[in-house]
Chains A and B, each alone.
Chain A
Amino acid sequence: MMSLFVQVLISGLAIGAIYALIATGFSLLSQGSQTVNFAQGDFVVVPAFVMLAANSYGLPIWASFIVALVVAALVLGVLFKRLMVDPILPHGAMQLSIATMALSIVLQNGMLNAGGAQAFPFPGINGGLHFGNIFIDWQSVSILLAAVVAVTALNLFMGRTRIGRAIQASAQGPQVARLLGINVARMVLITFVLNAALVTLAALLVSPIYLVKFDNGIGIGLAAFSAAIIGGFNQVRGAVVGGLLLGVVQNFAATFGPTQYRDAVPMLLLIIFILFRPQGLLGRAEERRV
């Protein structure tokens, strides 16, 4: 029983770490440009297909990852901002959110038409390590490691570098940031590119587990959205904590409860949080002025 508990915990943390990456990108975008991206889940599936395609042309998976990184930075970062966010955001954040829902549908159907409805296998890491009767698989370990490295690197970048601080400043007070001579538009663009990098890494990590399927984005996006809210909306640290918590709870629920309710867990957790702690784990309750 103990061994099962540890295994479920570790694989839960692993999937949670992936949610954390996606939720972090989600929070970055909403902080940096009031973009609540409902296509975030599909943003994970796009680079997964790019990697599969590059891989099928004979590129090793690491090289395919780099190709996907470049494509994602251009398409999901720069083009998404220039062609969708920039023209629509002036009309309102709500309008943009709805437009991203439409984008989600377009992306899913695009991938369905291009790739088909089947789930494609994705190369992963096999094997693992036995500690007595506890089995720890390399896949989970490498996911956790990669996510920890990515989140740490992102935190260092945001907190310790000039550009990172300028990005935070642009998100917290764009007007003041401009007065200090910060190129706010460029900082926002960097945020979009960072999000593209995060979803590409998430694609590399999640695809061996969930395989690559055109509509995977629905569940992944919902989980990331919930993780961001649970952690405390607009909090990068919150997104990490929310992602891990969600991954673990979801994995336990799926192991010890009926599997078909796996995707209901994020919603359930989300409802519980909205009812009892709407500011999330790390968020602060906002004052409402009348």
Chain B
Amino acid sequence: MATDTNSPVLMMEGVVGGYGRMTILNGLSFSVARATITTIIGPNGAGKSTAFKAIFGLLNLSAGRIILEGKDVRGFSPAALIGEGVCYVPQGRNIFPELSVHDNLELGGVALGTTKAMRSRVEEALDRFPILRQKARAQASTLSGGQQKLLEIARGLIARPKLMLIDEPSIGLSPLMVKDVFATLQRLRDQGVSILMVEQNARSALEISDNGIVLETGRTRLVGTAQSILNDPRIAKLFLGAEVDLETPASP
């Protein structure tokens, strides 16, 4: 089955949704090109993480379509979305601390059911991340923060996703580890995985990204190449400042 390599892997079209009565996404629309890294930036409360939850079936949506490779997947369960080739690496620590690194990895394919095929995929993942192979039998809680993030990424890859949603991967990591995680994401992109990332560390994230999306109040304010967003003086002032200025309100 040939897929058009020019068509986007994901399209959000006028997505409206939120928590309870509070609407966070107000007609959100954007698309993610195949085999690219796309970073979503925006102020707190803009709906960045909420957009991920919407894509991954964790939010009740009242309108809009979520098209994954030409198929509307709005309302799909996480398990079904994994089957469709989406994986979600949420922010924070999301490993199973008392299970071994190996078992954590194997759980990445639990939604797909087949145990035998999973074994070779776990081996592949361990080949791809030598640090995880070294610690394959160790309890996941013994890994450093950065290694745990790599484990989460590796676990997501077990299901062979076309699209990886990764939320704030740099949180709590040392600058060196952030570099390592970002390099991993670039390698994955080069291998054909499309990556949609939300990142507070916007400048460094855009530097490794192909495209950028600026969200504000649950809507897309700007889309463009990562470079053009980095070079946009207004965006730089608002979101990419070297220092976080909490006093400055986000202007319209």
Contact = CB atoms under 8 A, between A and B. Distances in A.
Is B a genuine binding partner of A?
yes
A176 interface: yes
A220 B111 CA distance: 39
A172 B96 contact: yes
B57 to A, nearest CB: 10
Contact of B56 (A162, A175, A179): A179
A42 to B, nearest CB: 30
A182 B99 CA distance: 16
A173 B95 CA distance: 8
Which interface residue of A168, A172, A178 has the most chain B CB atoms within 10 A? A172
A179 B165 CA distance: 12
A181 B96 contact: no
A181 B106 CA distance: 13
A172 B97 contact: yes
Nearest to A168: B99
Contact of A179 (B80, B88, B98, B99): B88
A165 B103 contact: yes
A68 interface: no
Number of chain B interface residues as a range: 20 to 34
B120 interface: no
B111 A165 contact: no
Contacts of A162: 106, 110, 115
A2 interface: no
A180 B78 contact: yes
Interface string B91-107: 00011111100010011
B93 to A, nearest CB: 9
Interface string B45-62: 000000000001000000
Interface string A157-180: 001001001101100110111111
B98 A165 contact: no
Nearest to B56: A179
B74 to A, nearest CB: 17
A176 B93 CA distance: 9
B78 A178 contact: yes
B82 interface: yes
Contacts of B155: 180
Interface residues of A, number: 17
B8 interface: no
Contacts of A183: 79
B108 interface: yes
A169 B56 contact: no
Contact of B99 (A172, A175, A178, A181): A172
Nearest to A160: B103
Contacts of B82: 180-181
A70 B155 CA distance: 37
B56 A182 contact: no
A181 B78 contact: yes
A181 B79 CA distance: 4
A32 to B, nearest CB: 13
Given A172-B97, A178-B78, 16 more contacts: A162-B115, A165-B99, A168-B103, A169-B107, A172-B96, A172-B98, A173-B95, A173-B97, A176-B94, A177-B107, A179-B88, A180-B110, A181-B79, A181-B83, A182-B79, A182-B107
26 contacts: A165-B106, A166-B107, A166-B110, A168-B103, A169-B96, A172-B96, A172-B97, A172-B99, A173-B95, A173-B97, A175-B94, A176-B90, A178-B78, A179-B88, A179-B90, A179-B94, A180-B78, A180-B107, A180-B110, A181-B77, A181-B78, A181-B82, A181-B111, A182-B79, A182-B107, A183-B79
